[in-house]
Amino acid sequence: MPVEQLKRYLDSENVHYISVNHSPAYTAQEIAKRAHIKGNQLAKTVIVTIDGSMAMIVLPASCRIRWDRFIKSMGTDFIALADEEEFQDHFPNCEVGAMPPFGSLFGMSVYIYDELAKNEEIAFSAGSHSEIIKMKFKDYQALVDPIMLSEGFANPDAPKPSWLCKKKAS
């Protein structure tokens, strides 16, 4: 789905959004920096196979998937990161790695870290490495109907809990 198709879809659903162009960037943290957005407000899309079916995991750019915890929270034994060759045909005209988090448009389930719902807005790649879309999270949620998850993710920049920081007395 090229950028213009995504915009037409959002327009057809009467959703207000803002398109932001930025210099080309290829990692979520780079995109956030170049688009002047906090890492916890930019959503990145990770394509996985869950028990043989492709799905999207959507999480803040500043977070990571904790695979052991994610697999446990999903109640399955097999989740694998999909290879680009496996999924690029599912996203015609999208630049690889810049897929918008609209699994419903591509026949995929969407699992989203509920931390993103704490923000009024969500921003995400629009199918290009040089453009993002910003829109209200509630509008995104209404269109996509993602499965909200609270476990299986980690923010490496978050402060450690106090019990983990205490040093043993010598």
Instruction: List the chain pLDDT tens, one digit each, 170 residues.
Output: 467 888 999 999 999 999 999 999 998 888 988 888 888 899 999 999 998 899 999 999 999 999 999 999 999 888 999 988 888 888 888 888 899 999 988 899 999 999 999 999 999 999 999 999 999 999 999 999 999 999 999 987 766 666 556 665 55
| Amino acid letter, 142 | A
| Amino acid letter, 105 | L
Q: How far is CA 52 from CA 27, 48, 101, in A?
A: 26, 9, 20
Strands 17-21 and 131-136: antiparallel
Q: How far is CA 97 from CA 27, 104, 117, 149, 169, in A?
A: 8, 18, 23, 22, 48
Q: Is 115 exposed, middle or buried (0-12, 13-18, 19+ CB in 10 A)?
A: middle
Give me the architecture of the 3-165 domain, per CATH: Alpha-Beta Complex (3.90)
pTM: 0.88
Q: Give residue limits of the domains in the chain.
A: 3-165
Question: Whole-angstrom Cα distance, residue 124 to residue 133?
Answer: 6
Strands 147-149 and 64-65: unpaired
